[in-house]
């Protein structure tokens, strides 16, 4: 039976570390990290996500501004708001909740955020720094995955890692993070599988560590993994029976050495890494780190 990798428990540990760091920033440097979240429209899932981020800020002592805009907000007004936040010294992180209404160009909006306040790490400057192995910020979900592996004592150095999914949010960045040579929790051999992969099982059966972000329930079944694999399930799919991941949990857990549950696995780590990036940005803006 697999060990459960409980992101909810590890996130609590990191939150306590951040609380101490934020307290020290206030006492020693009179700095309060600040995060602005922008929500355009009434998407219910987005409201839940933004609410969870607000709650985390309050819990940790991070200054939070939530800006709700109607769905018919025009692109130029949104860009003007971002420019205003770029210049606001109280704000160290800017997050535009996705998806945006169809009449707004997502790429243009993300590119408008100051790279030094881009705590989602979506700006091409931050993507490029990640590729080079010199990131200011690590993207939140991949960073959460890496922390789960490191804090659970799972060795990545020399490991065969297979990533299922090639999104800009999870698949591509986690692959780039895990192949870095001189960084902790990396130096792995990484294979990326996707919808164009001819024989996915051939690759997934080789994995020492399998990271699944396919966006489809039960993409990975027990027959597709080897004994002793470590499985990180990034998927969140809402079915009538409740939330499930992209992995057939009941089948795969019988073969895996360790596996993340859904919910309570990767999800809580994403939010706490956003908080970590906001603190990182506050320290950068104060000149406390390079």
Report, as residue numbers or ranges, the catalytic residues. Answer: 53, 97, 120
Q: Count Cβ neighbours within 10 Å for each residue of 190-221 and write b for 16 or more, e otherwise.
A: bbbbeeeeeebeebbebbbbbbbbbeebbbbe
Phi-psi region of 153 (alpha: psi -120 to 50; beta: other; left: phi over 0): left
Pairing, β 230-233 against β 3-4: unpaired
Distance between alpha carbon 95 and the CA centroid of its chain, in Å?
Answer: 13
Within 8 A by CB and 6+ apart from 30, the residues are none
Cis peptide before 283 (omega within 30 of 0): no
Q: How far is CA 177 from the centre of its chain?
A: 12
Would strands 242-244 and 237-239 be described as parallel, antiparallel, or unpaired? Answer: antiparallel
Q: Strand order in 160-164's β-sheet?
A: 3-4, 258-259, 230-233, 209-212, 160-164, 189-193
* Calculated CA dihedral for residues 245, 202, 252, 11, nearest 10 degrees: -50
Which residues have CB under 8 Å from 216's CB, separation 6+? Answer: 235, 237, 246
């Amino acid at each position: 039976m697999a060990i459960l990798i409980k992101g909810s428990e590890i996130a609590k540990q990191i939150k306590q570390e951040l609380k101490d760091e934020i307290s020290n920033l206030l006492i020693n440097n009179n700095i309060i990290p600040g995060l602005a979240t922008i929500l355009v429209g009434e998407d219910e899932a987005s409201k839940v996500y933004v609410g969870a981020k607000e709650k985390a800020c309050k819990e940790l002592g991070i200054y939070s501004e939530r800006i709700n805009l109607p769905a018919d907000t025009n692109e130029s007004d949104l860009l003007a708001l971002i420019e205003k936040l770029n210049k606001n010294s109280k704000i160290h992180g800017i997050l535009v909740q996705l998806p945006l209404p169809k009449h707004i160009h997502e790429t243009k909006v993300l590119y408008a955020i100051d790279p030094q306040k881009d705590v989602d790490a979506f700006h091409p400057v931050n993507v490029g720094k990640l590729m080079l192995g010199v990131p200011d910020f690590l993207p939140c979900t991949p960073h959460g995955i890496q922390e789960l592996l490191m804090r659970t004592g799972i060795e990545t150095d020399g490991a065969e890692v297979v990533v299922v999914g090639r999104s800009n949010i999870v698949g591509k960045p986690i692959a780039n993070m895990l192949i870095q040579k001189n960084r902790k929790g990396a130096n792995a051999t990484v294979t990326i599988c996707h919808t164009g992969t001819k024989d996915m099982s051939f690759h997934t059966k080789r994995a020492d560590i399998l990271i699944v972000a396919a966006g489809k329930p039960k993409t990975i079944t027990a027959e597709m993994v080897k004994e002793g694999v470590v499985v990180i399930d990034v998927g969140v799919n809402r079915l009538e029976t409740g939330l499930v991941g992209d992995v057939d949990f009941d089948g795969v857990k019988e073969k895996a050495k360790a596996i993340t549950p859904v919910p309570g696995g990767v999800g809580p780590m994403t939010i706490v890494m956003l908080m970590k990036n906001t603190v990182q940005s506050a320290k950068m803006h104060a000149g406390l780190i390079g």
